[in-house]
Structure 1
Amino acid sequence: MLGRLVDERQRTRAVDAVWDGALSRLRALDALFINLECPLSTRGRPWQRTHRPFHFRADQDWAVPALSAAGVDWATLANNHLLDFGEPALLDTLDALSAAGIAHSGAGRDERDARAPATATVGELTVAFCSATDNTPEYAAGPDGPGVARTALDLNDPTERGKLATAVDDALATDPDLLVASLHWGPNMTTEVFGRHREVGHWLLDRGVDVVHGHSAHVFKAVEVADNGLLMYDCGDFVDDYAVDDALRNDRSFLFELTVAEDGTPEQLRLVPVEIRNCAVHLAGGAVAQWCRETMRRRSREFDTAFERDGEALVAAW
Structure 2
Amino acid sequence: MNGGTVTLFLCGDVMLGRGVDQILPHPGDPALREGYVGDARGYVRSAEAVNGPVPAPVIPAWPWGEALRVLEEAAPDARIVNLETSVTRSDAFAPGKEVHYRMNPANVPALLVARPDVCVLANNHVLDFGRTGLAETLDVLSGAGLRTAGAGRNVAQARAPVAVPVGRGGRVLVFALGASCSGIPSDWAAGPDRSGVAFVPALTRAAADGVVEHVRRVRRPGDIVVVSVHWGSNWGYRVPDRQVRFAHALVDGGVDVIHGHSSHHPRAVEVYRERLVLHGCGDFVDDYEGISGYESFRDDLRLAFLVSVEADTGCLTGLRMVPLRARRMRLEAAPAEDRAWLRTTLDRISEGVSIGVADDGALTLERPGPSPLDRRAGRAQPGR
- TM-score normalised by the chain length of structure 2: 0.76
2:143 alignment counterpart: 99
d(CA) in 2 for partners of 1:164 and 1:261? 23
Q: Which amino acid aligns with 2:129?
A: F
d(CA) in 2 for partners of 1:107 and 1:204? 20
Residues 152 and 197, structure 2, Cα contact 8 Å, conserved in 1: yes
Shift of 1:33: 0.9
1:60 alignment counterpart: 105
d(CA) in 2 for partners of 1:44 and 1:170? 39
Residues 103 and 120, structure 1, Cα contact 8 Å, conserved in 2: no
**Residues 279 and 175 of structure 1: CA distance in aligned 2, closer, same or farther (over 3 Å):** farther
* Structure 2 gap ranges (5+): 1-14, 26-56, 369-384
Shift of 1:176: 5.2
Shift of 1:161: 4.2
**Residues 53 and 92 of structure 1: CA distance in aligned 2, closer, same or farther (over 3 Å):** same
Identity of aligned residues (%): 36
**Residues 110 and 176 of structure 1: CA distance in aligned 2, closer, same or farther (over 3 Å):** farther
Match of 1:216 among 262, 268, 275: 262
d(CA) in 1 for partners of 2:340 and 2:233? 26
Question: Are residue 247 (structure 1) and residue 296 (structure 2) matched?
Answer: yes
**Residues 219 and 171 of structure 1: CA distance in aligned 2, closer, same or farther (over 3 Å):** farther
Match of 2:281 among 235, 246, 251: 235
Query: SS state of the match for residue 233, structure 2?
Result: coil
d(CA) in 2 for partners of 1:170 and 1:251? 41
Deviations 1:161-197 (A, max 9, x none): 454234423442x555210011100111121111111
Match of 1:117 among 161, 164, 169: 161
Query: SS state of the match for residue 165, structure 2?
Result: strand
2:18 alignment counterpart: 4
Match of 1:305 among 325, 335, 353: 353
Question: Are residue 39 (structure 1) and residue 89 (structure 2) matched?
Answer: no
Q: Which amino acid aligns with 2:198?
A: A
Question: Are residue 199 (structure 1) and residue 245 (structure 2) matched?
Answer: yes
Deviations 1:95-147 (A, max 9, x none): 22223332211000012211111111234331001111113223211221111
Q: Which amino acid aligns with 1:45?
A: A
* Structure 1 gap ranges (5+): none
Q: Which amino acid aligns with 1:295?
A: T
Shift of 1:270: 0.3
Deviations 1:230-282 (A, max 9, x none): 10100000011122521112221310011233435431010111122222222
d(CA) in 1 for partners of 2:187 and 2:125? 11
d(CA) in 2 for partners of 1:40 and 1:219? 24
d(CA) in 2 for partners of 1:15 and 1:44? 24
**Residues 84 and 268 of structure 1: CA distance in aligned 2, closer, same or farther (over 3 Å):** same
Q: Which amino acid aligns with 1:196?
A: R
Query: SS state of the match for residue 17, structure 1?
Result: coil
4+ aligned runs moved over 4 Å, structure 1: none
d(CA) in 2 for partners of 1:166 and 1:122? 24
1:127 alignment counterpart: 172
Query: SS state of the match for residue 231, structure 1?
Result: strand
Q: Which has the larger radius of gyration?
A: 2
d(CA) in 2 for partners of 1:169 and 1:102? 25
d(CA) in 2 for partners of 1:249 and 1:207? 35
Residues 212 and 254, structure 2, Cα contact 8 Å, conserved in 1: no
Query: SS state of the match for residue 200, structure 1?
Result: helix
Q: Which amino acid aligns with 2:188?
A: Y
Q: Name the stretch that deviates more: 123-132 or 197-206.
A: 123-132
2:191 alignment counterpart: 142
- TM-score normalised by the chain length of structure 1: 0.91
Instruction: Kindly indicate whether structure 1 or structure 2 has the higher relative contact order, using CA contacts under 8 Å at least 6 residues apart.
Output: 2
Residues 130 and 167, structure 1, Cα contact 8 Å, conserved in 2: no
Shift of 1:228: 3.6
d(CA) in 2 for partners of 1:171 and 1:275? 38
Match of 1:23 among 44, 48, 68: 68
2:30 alignment counterpart: none
Query: SS state of the match for residue 190, structure 1?
Result: coil
Q: Which amino acid aligns with 2:300?
A: D
Residues 147 and 162, structure 2, Cα contact 8 Å, conserved in 1: yes
d(CA) in 2 for partners of 1:258 and 1:10? 30
Question: Are residue 186 (structure 1) and residue 232 (structure 2) matched?
Answer: yes
Shift of 1:288: 1.5
**Residues 99 and 277 of structure 1: CA distance in aligned 2, closer, same or farther (over 3 Å):** same
**Residues 69 and 201 of structure 1: CA distance in aligned 2, closer, same or farther (over 3 Å):** same
Residues 44 and 86, structure 1, Cα contact 8 Å, conserved in 2: no
Match of 2:120 among 62, 76, 81: 76
Residues 274 and 316, structure 2, Cα contact 8 Å, conserved in 1: no
**Residues 170 and 90 of structure 1: CA distance in aligned 2, closer, same or farther (over 3 Å):** farther
Query: SS state of the match for residue 238, structure 1?
Result: strand
Pairing of 1:241-280 with structure 2 (within 5 A): 241-242=287-288, 243-244=291-292, 245-263=294-312, 264-280=314-330
1:168 alignment counterpart: 215
2:5 alignment counterpart: none
Aligned residue pairs total 310
d(CA) in 2 for partners of 1:183 and 1:218? 15
